[in-house]
Structure 1
Amino acid sequence: MGVRKQSVSFTDAAFAFAEDLVRRGEYPTISAAVSGEMMRARAARAAEQALFEAELTRRLALPVDQWAPLGEPADLTRGARARLAALRGDDGA
């Protein structure tokens, strides 16, 4: 595994968290703590993506008669369009 040296900045809270991980013996150095926690975050995101893909595949495999009707296409975006109109301060027209 290669190592790349990089200067980064952390918030006080993030640095304190990394220091605490080292103090508790979970990592030998701050660099190891940051790298290790980045890899944990990467693995968590990959697992979340895999679960999402598996659920999507499962749902797409359902017979058509088991699909829930969505109604009119305009109904799907009505709330979002109303929110955007409110943010713009107009009536959405």
Structure 2
Amino acid sequence: MSLAADFEQAQTDVKQLPSRPANNVLLRLYALYKQGTHGDADGKRPGVFDLVGRAKYDAWKSVAGTAREDAQRQYVALVTDLRA
């Protein structure tokens, strides 16, 4: 399969995991997904009272500079590991 097909399949597979991953893993999945679909984070960092939004933004910002294809590969690998 192509990377695009693998990435799409991983997006489906992640919704069917037997158990909910830890928050740090969920943030990593979010960051890789956003990097793989939108590229580097932009806009302002959410305010101090938006804890969830801030954590998600920080996670996404932490992978800035990663090529979209690399982020997609890492996302697929992480979902594959979680399914095992």
Q: Same fold (TM over 0.5)?
A: no
Q: Which has the higher contact order (CA 8 A, sep 6+)?
A: 2
Larger Rg: 1
Q: TM-score, normalised by structure 1?
A: 0.28
Q: TM-score, normalised by structure 2?
A: 0.30
